Amino acid sequence: MRLGAIPELPNAIAKSLEEHGIKTDAIFLSMAPLDILRKLPLGSISLGEINRCKEIVARVSAAPGQSASSLLKSVPQKPSSMNVELPLSLEPVQSYFSPHTDKVVELSGDRNSRKSEFILNIVLRYLTTNACSIVHWVDTTGDFSTTKASNILKQFGLDKENNCLERIQVSLALEVEQLYDILDGLATSLEVRCPNGISATGYLVVDNVTALYGPLLSVASSQGHALMVDLMRRLRIIAQIHLITVIVCLSAHYIYETVTTSLVHRKPALGPSFTFLTDATLWMSDPRLVTKSPGATYHNEKSDYINYLLEVTKSSFGVR
């Protein structure tokens, strides 16, 4: 900033300084008062006036200061009163699926590992325990079922559904452009607050991103990868600004041995770089497709349920 552009600085002093090569605030502030005094004509200015001018220039050219305590108060704090009660078997991974974490969590896995149903259970539990809460669910395949959601609520043993199905807002996005339009349209809804002042939205679920971005990825072009990175950047901004948990579901990519056509390896379908775009990566699998560990039991012969495997493969934040 030129000294002549500072209205608080006397014009005569600013003009004299510029005539002697001291034209900007950076030069003026970097020079010692005695050096400035020697440059100017004898008797034109005193050492005290130079010090006062330095205070003026420093105040005008510097950004307004803020205390650390005021900055801390302006940062959204994770609420302790709004949470989701998960079964005891899921306590080790509760921090990854808690609402209002400002994190982006990736859930990948086999096609028949029931990832969507697992996440639906979590968000419905959240809706039943917090009467003002909202969940946004983006369906990219058209597979979301209100009947399944209603059946899950009945299994919770509630006397009434507590309008939970009305508070899970489902949007259909079959194209990338539709997904962007949905995210743009969420701006108003995400501003809705509960009586305690926090965002009513605890989760944003995208199920799943493979259907949208898988066909766009190509070794011949980086456009699909750039679109994928841009989406994850936007999801992270949404999570951090509105203090919500974003969960993205991915399908698995299967690698087979060419000779025997036997399954060799499974990995997330959008490539190895996707894992760097999220805060945590969890893998859900059907134990009937993997090698059993010694002594492990995945199926209860006396019941009709199967214990699915949920593994944390990467995490940038700790487990509570």
Residue by residue, pLDDT tens for the chain (320 residues) are 888 888 888 888 888 999 888 989 889 999 999 999 998 888 888 999 999 999 999 888 877 777 888 777 766 565 554 566 777 777 888 889 999 989 999 998 877 788 999 999 999 999 988 888 899 999 999 999 989 998 888 888 765 556 888 899 999 999 999 999 999 998 888 888 887 777 889 999 999 888 888 877 776 678 878 888 899 999 999 999 889 999 999 887 665 555 555 555 566 667 667 778 899 989 888 776 555 444 444 444 445 567 788 888 888 876 55
Rounded distance between C-alpha atoms, residue 183 and residue 119, angstroms: 20
Place of tokens 């959601």: 149
Residue 278 is inside which H or E element, if any? none
Which CATH superfamily groups domain 81-315?
Answer: P-loop containing nucleotide triphosphate hydrolases (3.40.50.300)
pLDDT for residue 266: 62
pLDDT for residue 297: 46
- Cα angle, residue 116 at apex, residues 139 and 291 outer, rounded to 5°: 140
Rounded distance between C-alpha atoms, residue 68 and residue 154, angstroms: 48
Rounded distance between C-alpha atoms, residue 278 and residue 272, angstroms: 12
pLDDT for residue 181: 93
14 to each of 31, 79, 140, 295, how far by Cα in Å? 15, 53, 64, 84
pLDDT for residue 206: 95
Whether residue 151 has a cis bond before it, omega within 30° of 0: no
- Structural domain boundaries in the chain: 7-61, 81-315
Helices (H) and strands (E) in the chain, counts: 11, 9
pLDDT for residue 295: 45
- Answer whether 153's CB lies under 8 Å from 159's CB: no
Q: Which residues pair with 107 in a beta bridge?
A: 249, 282
